[in-house]
A and B are shown apart, each in its own frame.
Chain A
Amino acid sequence: MRTRSGRMRAFGAAVAVLSFALPAAAAPKGAGWQVPTSVRKLPNGLTVVVSEDRSSPTFGLCVVYRIGFRLEPKGRTGFAHLFEHMMFQGTPNAPKGTYDRVIEGGGGINNGSTRYDYTNYIVSAPVSALDAILWLEADRMKMLDFSEKNLQNQKDVVKEEIRVNVKNRPYGLFFWTDVAGAAFTKWENAHDGYGSFADLDAASSADVKAFFESFYGPNNAVLAIVGDVAAEEAFAKVEKYFGSIPARATPPKPDVDEEPNSKERLVEQTDPLANVPAVAVGWKLPSRGTPDDVPVAVLADLLAGGEASRLYQGLVKGKELLLGIEGGVNWPLGDPWTYEGPTLLTLFGLYKPDTTAKAVVAAIDGEIAKVARGDVGVAELERTKTKMVSDLYAQLEMPMDRAVALSLAQLFTGDAASVNEIPRKLSAVTRADLARVASTYLAARNRTVVDRRPAPQKAEPPAEAGK
């Protein structure tokens, strides 16, 4: 599993908008750098985003489909992810193996990721391979090789993926699956996106075909190209390779939003593979698009974004309860700019043997209470925002990462250029905003805690029975 980035809003025009690297006023230090974005929608519904960048003779590409764990069929947990694997299993035109052979032989790399709200396919390569790679992406949007043999092969591979990341690993990603499972009520939000082996076994090539028909049409996708190509040239190439793919009917999206929880949820677990206890805490957040989105993101960084953060200084240093702390909005599968929602603000840490999860949660609560009272320094807030802007830029440096960010911004906000608005939105967040979102969302009643302790060591047989 990898985490990726994305962002937010700005221009509405669905045509070329250019801008570049201008220093700005006010706002956090360094704010003002912008990436160019041009957007066009093909008649078949495929939305195309281009960001020209001539700094290297390469390009990055992301094709994102609006389908993830959340909307996979009931009785088929893990199917969206298994399907992602099937996208690399060849087509009637390009048999299994062709895709990687052409991309790697062209000097490129590729990958795919499945998340709650999307599945994306990413490539980075020398620009000399752009046409060949666009052809391959269009080819697998048209039709796949729905072979039983390849499906069985990828079921085996996915099971090994689940073994290596969950079943054979201490903690087993509980801070993702188990926190979400306990915090959410609706099946769409609560079920395990990796899926059960029984459900994976039950998946058929008919399921693969139906899923492809429903969710993998051009009208359910955004394609972003970033790099050494002019916007008009890129649009023309996309039109050439993707223009003839017909739109496909996509099922309506059910209402997946949830109310905040009214009572704390506590889960205690033992972990036979772990040597050190761990705790994860999640607070439910609504679907994206409220005025609180950006303040909550700042709150998460203020609390746990790096070594200057409150919880690092308070609990890793200070009280010395934790070995470290990680987390954030939409963590660990993404960040504040890459979800549709609902999601969680999650924190995770290994704790010391001489303390308890309860003490850790109480100490976290103490820091949240201070923020909720408005006890946040002006300089503290400013440097938190500055670091967030700097981190955002880092996510836009590599063309492939920028393609991911722009395509997800387009998918979730309808505006790829909204990425350029994030620094301004960050700078507008006030202490009062933080106090409001801390008391609204990070209240104990809306909290889910999973305490995961090493299983007791199996007792050695006593040396002398009966002693």
Chain B
Amino acid sequence: MKKTSNLAAAVALLGAAALLAPAARAAEPAPLPKELPPYGADAPLPVPAIAKSTLPNGLTAWIVKRPGFPKVSAVLAVRGGTAADPAGMEGVAGLLAATMKEGTARRSSRRIAEELQAVGGDLSVAASADAFYLRGSALASGLPALLDLLADVARNPAFPPGEVDLAKENALQELEAQEATPEYLAARAFAKAVYGSHPYHVVSPTRETVGKVAPALLRAEHARRFRPDAALLVLAGDLDEAAAKAAVAKAFGGWAATGSPVPSTPPSPPARGREIFLVDRPGSVQSTVVAGRPGPDVSDPDWYDVLVANTIYADAFGSRLVRNIREEKGYTYSPSGDFATRRAGSLLEMRADVRNEVTAATLLEVFYELDRMAATTPTPDELAGAKRYQAGLYLLRNQVQEAVSGTLARNWVNGLPPESLGEFVTKVNAVTADGVRAAGRKHFLSSSQTVVVVGDAKEARAQLELFGKVVDVNP
């Protein structure tokens, strides 16, 4: 309970959270203990060998053979997530994801669940901003069954009326339940504040969208988005390449595209400059503080500079912000600094839950650390540490087959070639102190940040007004 995040998820998503370190404003840290053994020589970096192929129907298939561990992982990514939802139907992708495995032309929802269980399997369907992800795993011996189920769910969902009604009812209840949590209120308000009407403002279905959902509409949305020429299948695990290829062809070879592909998402908007939004949550004993802004596109040469800068700023146990507001001042347990990449632009977002009375004091330190990224150059020790940390996360992701298949799929959705995975560490290592400072000036200045606070307005408002005009957001 040193920190909250689920480690496996943190590794898979690249977001290992934060902890510890010395006095925050010391320029150079104390020398290391004399007896401490030095690091050994780095081993050569493992780079996954990807067998790439394309089916005649346009489906891209990547197979990564990893002998030993007796399971397999499969990810089918299909372009067209919540950002492709029609106007007035924001969040419908979430309902589509929630209903796709609730019955197909060949199987009931129960049969799908039981057949998966019989091969030690799992299958989830999720809609992100840019894509649908169907993620499955099974014992290695269950690969053909897993692929058959995955293809059936992807190609032939039936949207049985009873299942759709239940999913709608549950979606409304889940929305009720989520609206009781500060993190959901913060995420929704922050996305709206940063993106305005850009499609990335959608974080979940609205009640209006849920009300309009019906089987015919889901069928149409499915047909529009799920097409082989807009999809990537990644397999990783203890498999025979030829047999896996044959199973892929059998499961997906007959999949044909209809209509025209989903249009691409417009570039995300630039940072809007400092704005402060307050979501009143009466009775809150903490303020949930979020500060962030859009960052560079993944194809932007700044991207690696920003990654390393964000690691130094807030995305590691020993990062500046965590040392400052947790380990020196004790304002918070779980500060985090995310750098989330999407196809049409990235998002920088720090979050900390702090006791009410230090809301302003926290924001002061957040702004200080942001401006420090722009005003000063990182120390050689900080820069080297951040680069090694990112290289280490690459190695950690490479330990787990689901992390390998998931990273490859996400990179593809973001428009990166498969080779980008193996080039990651080299590019991180090329980042310089000047590059980090330039990234700080361009992407971290506190004057460019959108701030959202969810808390008891009676406690938080006056504290926030110290920093500028406060705009109330209805929860």
Contacts and interface: CB of A to CB of B under 8 A. Distances in A.
Given A30-B140, A105-B389, A109-B7, A276 B176 contact: yes
Interface in B1-31: 1-8, 10-11, 16, 19-23, 29-30
Contacts of A107: 388-389, 391-393, 395
Interface of A: 1-2, 21, 28-30, 33, 55-58, 81, 84-85, 88, 93-114, 122, 124-132, 135-136, 139, 152-161, 163-165, 167-170, 228, 272-276, 306-308, 312-313, 317, 320, 323, 350, 352-353, 379, 382-384, 386-387, 389-391, 393-394, 397-401
A109 B396 contact: yes
A390 B395 contact: no
A172 to B, nearest CB: 11
Interface stretch (B197-205, B291-299, B331-339): B331-339
12 contacts: A29-B119, A88-B20, A95-B22, A96-B22, A97-B318, A109-B11, A124-B11, A131-B40, A160-B334, A276-B177, A317-B110, A317-B166
A88 B170 contact: no
A160 B286 contact: yes
B464 to A, nearest CB: 18
Interface string B110-147: 10011011111110000000000000011111100000
A352 B174 CA distance: 10
Given A128-B43, A160-B354, A57 B395 contact: yes
Interface in B360-409: 381, 384-385, 388-389, 391-393, 395-396, 398-401
Contact of A163 (B35, B139, B317, B353): B353
A106 to B, nearest CB: 5
Given A93-B35, A160-B286, A397 B401 contact: yes
Contacts of B4: 1-2, 161, 164-165
A383 B114 contact: yes
Interface of B: 1-8, 10-11, 16, 19-23, 29-30, 32-33, 35-44, 46, 66, 68-71, 109-110, 113-114, 116-122, 137-142, 166, 169-170, 173-174, 176-177, 179-182, 283-286, 316-318, 323, 326-334, 353-355, 381, 384-385, 388-389, 391-393, 395-396, 398-401
A272 to B, nearest CB: 6
Contacts of A153: 327-330
Contact of A275 (B30, B116, B177): B177
Contact of A99 (B20, B43, B398): B20
Nearest to A394: B71
A164 B39 contact: no
A168 B327 contact: no
Contact of B36 (A135, A323, A389): A135
Given A56-B398, A397-B401, A157 B138 contact: no
A108 B285 contact: no
Given A379-B118, A397-B399, A398-B399, 4 more contacts: A96-B20, A104-B317, A157-B326, A350-B177
Contacts of A168: 182, 284-286, 353
Contact of B21 (A81, A100, A127, A397): A100
Contacts of A109: 7, 10-11, 16, 317, 392-393, 396
Contacts of A158: 333
A323 B170 CA distance: 6
A276 B174 CA distance: 9
Contacts of A391: 120
Given A228-B43, A389-B120, A125 B180 contact: no
A170 B174 CA distance: 13
B32 A30 contact: no
A397 B400 contact: yes
A357 to B, nearest CB: 16
A128 B41 contact: yes
A350 B36 contact: no
Contacts of A93: 33, 35
A129 B33 contact: no
A108 B333 CA distance: 21
Contacts of B179: 275
Nearest to B10: A109
Top 4 A-B residue pairs of the complex, sorted by shortest distance between their CB atoms? A107-B392, A390-B120, A156-B330, A97-B22
Contact of B1 (A1, A101, A307, A317): A1
Given A95-B22, A109-B16, A306-B117, A135 B35 contact: yes
A170 B333 contact: no
Contacts of A152: 330
Contacts of A128: 39-43
Contacts of B2: 84-85, 88, 110-113
Given A2-B6, A104-B389, A168-B286, A275 B139 contact: no
A101 B318 contact: yes
B3 A111 contact: yes
Contacts of B317: 100, 103-104, 109-110
B40 A127 contact: yes
B117 A386 contact: yes
B403 to A, nearest CB: 9
Contacts of B41: 128
Nearest to A164: B353
A307 B396 contact: no
Q: Which of B71, B354, B384 has the most CB of A within 10 A?
A: B71
Contact of B113 (A56, A95, A156, A308): A308
Given A156-B330, A308-B113, A399-B399, A275 B180 contact: yes
A274 B181 CA distance: 8
A466 B426 CA distance: 76
A225 to B, nearest CB: 15
Contact of B39 (A21, A95, A129, A159): A129
Nearest to B5: A2
Contact of A154 (B113, B140, B330): B330
B139 A383 contact: no
A466 B370 CA distance: 56
B43 A57 contact: yes
Contacts of B44: 57
A124 B43 contact: no
A130 B36 CA distance: 11
Contact of A308 (B11, B33, B116): B116
Contacts of A103: 317
Nearest to A455: B283
Q: Which of A135, A394, A399 has the most CB of B within 10 A?
A: A394
Nearest to A155: B330
B425 to A, nearest CB: 10
B36 A94 contact: yes
A101 B113 contact: no
Contacts of A163: 285-286, 333, 353, 355
A437 to B, nearest CB: 21
B141 A132 contact: no
Contacts of A21: 68, 70
B173 A350 contact: yes
B7 A160 contact: no
A132 to B, nearest CB: 5
Given A109-B396, A125-B392, A153-B327, A352 B173 contact: yes
A139 B36 CA distance: 10
Contacts of A126: 42-43, 391-392, 395
Contact of A386 (B139, B173, B316): B139
Contacts of A130: 40
Contacts of A81: 1
A214 B399 CA distance: 37
Contact of A276 (B11, B180, B328): B180
B117 A308 contact: yes
B72 to A, nearest CB: 11
Contacts of B395: 56-58, 107, 126
B311 to A, nearest CB: 9
Contacts of A94: 33, 36
B119 A386 contact: yes
Contact of B37 (A113, A125, A135, A165): A135
